[in-house]
Amino acid sequence: MRTPTENGADAYDLGHHGDRETAEGLVDLAVNVRTGTPPPWLAARIADSLADLARYPDGRAARAAVAARHGRADAREVLLTAGAAEAFVLLARALRPRCAVVVHPQFTEPEAALRAAGHPVHRVLLTAADGFRLDPAAVPEQADLVVVGNPTNPTSVLHPAADLRQLARPGRTLVVDEAFMDSVPGEGESLAAARDVPGLLVLRSLTKTWGLAGLRIGYVLGGRQPVAALERAQPLWAVSAPALVAAQACTEPAALAEAEAAAVRTAADRAHLLALLAAVPGVTVAGTAPAAPFVLLRLPDAAAVRERLRADGWAVRRGDTFPGLGPRWLRVAVRDRTTSDAFAAALRAALRA
């Protein structure tokens, strides 16, 4: 665990995301959206909503449905957003942190949004030697805003909810990005339903499991006052009518059962991929028990390997744009077993070249 540092300009490209790695004709292991989505029933529901596009969006039903899905009786504890990424911008607009801390490596948009709003950002850098596990004591006491992912992108580490609870303090906003939590069977370490953690805001996305990256739908869960502050910073009608329909549809019992089944399949497919990678000389998987629909790999000359893979038809996510990582890291999405078998063979060939 490294000491926190205030960041200025540095070499990390915080605006780089996996979609910039993809291209026509490449097998996409760079973006973590589940393949084969959105499912036909969800696409049909969204298509049916187009008949009402002349009306301004009314989010009340979707907001209530999301609240109920997480055991919250008060819909004012939910804010629907144009993707989870919008929530980071709203946080940067609504809050005036004196000491904002982002725990890295993680999704870079929280820091990018805070920087863009003029807030200094301090980094707590988790290390490979510690399995990228969080030590709550590493976060400085004076931090009045802390942002952490769970499970974390790109490390695939699932932090215990008990450790995250230790970060809560009176006067501190604790933001837990759970964009990939619905890909964890049972969601056992989620804080989405927690109402006893002071200053807690939980962010969720419907992009990954349901394949809605182009629709932009996510939400924030938290106390009424902080949620209201974020809502005041949000433009009117920020979430489209089709996105609201998707939010409501994805909280229904049949959809939740489908998401859980998908999470179980992903866990089995990840175990298969990890077994394949364990047999590839020179490749190390980050952490001890990856929990997300992607894995983080350390390997020699990763940049050259990535280019060789690309030439062979494979897109993977570079790791050196994440603070705390460097040029030896790549992130790879979990896919079906046939795809993983082919990727492992391609990776071996790229390492030999």
Span 98-119, pLDDT tens digits: 999 999 999 999 999 999 999 9
Cα gap 145→115, rounded to integer Å = 14
Using alpha carbons only, how large is the chain's radius of gyration in Å? Answer: 20
Give the mean pLDDT of the chain: 96
When pLDDT is averaged across residues 223-251 and rounded to a whole number, the result is: 98
| pLDDT given at position 11 | 74
Instruction: Provide the 8-state DSSP code for 148.
Output: E
Cα gap 101→147, rounded to integer Å = 6
Work out the pLDDT band at 9, boundaries 50, 70, 90.
very low
Label residue 327 exposed, middle or buried (CB < 10 Å: 0-12, 13-18, 19+): middle
| pLDDT given at position 348 | 97
Q: Has residue 207 got a pLDDT over 50?
A: yes
Cα gap 30→20, rounded to integer Å = 9
What's the token pair of residue 59? Answer: 């989010």
When pLDDT is averaged across residues 336-345 and rounded to a whole number, the result is: 98
Provide the whole-model pTM.
Answer: 0.95
Residue 12 near residue 311 (C-beta atoms within 8 A): no
Of 200, 170, 212, nearest to 77 by C-alpha is 200
| pLDDT given at position 353 | 80
Instruction: Name 265's Cβ contacts closer than 8 Å, sequence gap at least 6.
Output: none
